[in-house]
């Protein structure tokens, strides 16, 4: 069987503190790459912003998105906090990342759209419209369509 699964992950720093700059951001990039290699995942695209991370990752089918997020967030947080004392002071509870994350399997939009979106992240507020046409009408139980 041949499969190709790609997931777009987004997660934020706890309290949205903008700590992922300079040396910490560069080191995070290295740590995420290392975690991907350790866990047989492939990082296709990524963008580290001051307070959040975007990753487009491919992994074997036996690796669930929840497990992937656990590895990426957990191992990077642990290793960064051991290396950078300023993170230990700010995040005294040893949690660099917020509790939640976003994950979407690439397919509802094309991979190219996700890559473009990640590449075009800017500090300015704005929106990204994924759907450029209205969704199809919903089918009702009697076989007709609701418009």
Residue 133 lies in a domain: no
Residue 108 lies in a domain: yes
Residue 76 lies in a domain: yes
> 10 Å Cβ neighbour count for 102?
12
Residue 80 lies in a domain: yes
Distance CA 34, CA 53 (A): 16
Residue 137 lies in a domain: no
Residue 128 lies in a domain: no
pTM for the predicted model, two decimal places: 0.72
Q: Domains in the chain: how many in total?
A: 1
62-63-66 Cα angle (round to 5): 135
- Would you tell me the crossing angle of helices 65-83 and 22-38 to the nearest 10 degrees? 140
Distance CA 46, CA 3 (A): 22
Q: CATH number, domain at 47?
A: 3.30.70.1290
Distance CA 90, CA 81 (A): 10
pLDDT of residue 128: 44
Domain that holds residue 92: 6-121
Quick check: 61 pLDDT over 70? yes
Residue 135 lies in a domain: no
pLDDT of residue 40: 93
pLDDT cut 90: percent of the chain above it: 57
- pLDDT per position as a tens digit, 2-31: 567 899 999 999 999 999 999 999 999 999
Residue 129 lies in a domain: no
DSSP 24-88: HHHHHHHHHHHHHHHTT-EEEEEEE-SSEEEEEEE--TTS-HHHHHHHHHHHHHHHHHHH-HHHH
Tokens standing for 44?
């296709």
Q: Which of 132, 141, 113 is nearest to 56 (CA)?
A: 113
pLDDT, averaged across the chain? 83
DSSP category for residue 7: E
């Amino acid at each position: 069987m041949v499969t190709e699964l790609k997931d777009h992950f987004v997660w934020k720093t706890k309290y949205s503190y903008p700590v992922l700059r300079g040396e910490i951001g560069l080191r995070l990039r290295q740590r995420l790459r290392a975690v991907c290699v350790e866990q047989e995942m492939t990082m296709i695209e990524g963008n580290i912003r001051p307070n959040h991370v975007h990753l487009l990752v491919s992994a074997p089918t036996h690796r669930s998105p929840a497990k992937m997020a656990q590895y990426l967030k957990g191992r990077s947080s642990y290793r960064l906090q051991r290396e950078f004392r300023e993170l230990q002071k700010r995040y005294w509870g040893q949690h660099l990342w917020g509790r939640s994350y976003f994950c979407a399997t690439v397919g509802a939009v094309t991979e190219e759209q996700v890559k473009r979106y990640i590449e075009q992240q800017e500090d300015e507020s704005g929106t990204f419209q994924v759907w450029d046409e209205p969704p199809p009408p919903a089918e009702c139980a009697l076989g007709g369509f609701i418009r």
